[in-house]
Amino acid sequence: STQSSTIQWMEVGTFDMGLTTVMAGHGVCLATDSLAGDFIERGLLVKPFDIGMTPGVQVNLCFDPSSPRKERIEAFTE
């Protein structure tokens, strides 16, 4: 049998809105230290895990190394 999902999801338009929502007690937000650091230092937010989020754009490629299109794929990694 299939169980229905009970996960509640909220999406906001900016990090500021996300951090404000979390400070009001509604969930979690993944944000950079540059945005959340001051709130963490003042005790308004907590950093539950020792991981970070790097600002900027990051692209990850996952592909089969034996793919016949390997040369085309590698053109994007240089």
pLDDT at 3: 58
Cα angle 52, 56, 60 (rounded to 5 degrees) comes to: 80
pLDDT at 1: 43
Instruction: Confirm whether pTM is higher than 0.85.
Output: no
pLDDT at 2: 54
The structure tokens listed for 6 are: 């009970």
Domain spans, the chain: 15-74
pLDDT at 55: 72
Using CA atoms, how far apart are residues 33 and 50, in angstroms rounded to an integer? 11
Helix axes 15-23, 33-41, angle to 10 degrees: 30
The structure tokens listed for 57 are: 């754009």
Residues with pLDDT less than 50, the chain: 1
pLDDT at 30: 84
Which residue is associated with the tokens 């999902």?
A: 5
